[in-house]
Amino acid sequence: MAAQAQPRILLITLDKVMPEIDEVFADLIHKFSKVAQLQRTRKPDASLRVLSENPKAVFLTDGALSKPKYASLWDAVLEYARNGGTCQPPDIKSFFAKAGLPWEMAGYHRTTVSLNRQGIPRDVTLALQPSYSQKAIFLKGVDPSLSWYNPTSDSTTQSMVFDPESVDTTTCPVAMANVGEGKLGYVGDVNGEQGSTLVVLAMSGLFSTA
């Protein structure tokens, strides 16, 4: 019997420098490469071509798709999601509004967040860390049932410079929503924490703790 082909994952990087992306997402890229065929693009035309081949998931590594010059590519990514694909976008208000989501930026800080087990399939929660510290862009306007991680009443900002402050428990750094027949996920982590790597793998339908 022939070996089953690995699923394909598309990583789109438009404006960021590749070495920077490779450094921040080193662990994620390594894990992706172990369980999937990784295709990376830097140009809209190449990205559109791979999208048309229906990869298993799309990971957007920078916020460039929020720029008007890339509007047609963002439309294509949304169409991909609505037709049953999964993608993780990088930017905020107008970006999500186009997908019909009222998500906005709520803050940028490091804190410890805990897994929201409600609304997430049990097999997915088993693959994720129950809590971890991440420096992230947090969202507001996310339905609680769509949030994967949230600060708790014990969460405070973590800084080497400023005194700790309480964190709004209604905000979240990780969320996933249905968009048409597919899903749109958000991971606000800017440092590529191991917990966030597991989240992206789970959102992409790839489970790995190796």
Segment 44-54, tens digit of pLDDT: 999 999 999 99
**38-41: Cβ within 8 A, 24+ apart:** 38/8, 38/9, 38/11, 39/8, 39/9, 39/10, 39/11, 40/10, 40/11, 40/12, 40/13, 41/10, 41/11, 41/12, 41/13
**Which pLDDT score is estimated for 121?**
81
On the question of pLDDT at 85 being above 80, the answer is: yes
The residue that leads in pLDDT, 6 or 128, is 128
On the question of pLDDT at 4 being above 70, the answer is: no
Per mean pLDDT, which range of 55-59, 101-105, 120-124, 173-177 is the poorest?
120-124
Query: Does 209 reside within a domain?
Result: no
Q: How far does Cα 76 stand from its chain's mean position?
A: 18
Query: Does 210 reside within a domain?
Result: no
**Which pLDDT score is estimated for 11?**
92
What share of the chain has pLDDT > 70, as a percent?
Answer: 94
On the question of pLDDT at 143 being above 90, the answer is: yes
Segment 144-167, tens digit of pLDDT: 999 999 999 999 999 988 899 999
Query: Residue 127: which CATH number?
Result: 3.40.50.880
**Total count of domains within the chain:** 1
Q: Pseudo-torsion of CA 41, 44, 49, 54, nearest 10°?
A: 70
Query: Does 3 reside within a domain?
Result: no
Q: Pseudo-torsion of CA 141, 120, 148, 101, nearest 10°?
A: -30
> pTM surpassing 0.85?
no
**Which pLDDT score is estimated for 66?**
80
β-sheet bridge partners, residue 178: 183
How many other C-beta atoms lie within 10 A of the C-beta of residue 67? 14
Query: Does 163 reside within a domain?
Result: yes
On the question of pLDDT at 207 being above 80, the answer is: no
**Which pLDDT score is estimated for 89?**
66
Query: Does 94 reside within a domain?
Result: yes
Segment 168-186, tens digit of pLDDT: 999 999 999 999 999 999 9
Residue in this structure with the two tokens 């405070």, named with its chain if needed = 156
192: left (phi over 0), alpha (psi -120 to 50) or beta: left
On the question of pLDDT at 5 being above 90, the answer is: no
pLDDT category, 210, cuts 50, 70, 90? very low
**Which pLDDT score is estimated for 21?**
80
Residue-range definition of the domain harbouring residue 53: 8-203
User: Mean pLDDT across the stretch 83-96?
Assistant: 78
* CA pair distance 167, 159, nearest whole angstrom: 13
What share of the chain has pLDDT > 90, as a percent?
Answer: 61
Query: Does 31 reside within a domain?
Result: yes
Query: Does 1 reside within a domain?
Result: no
**Which pLDDT score is estimated for 90?**
60
Burial 132-154 (b: 16+ CB within 10 A, else e): bebbbbbbebbeeebbbbbbeee
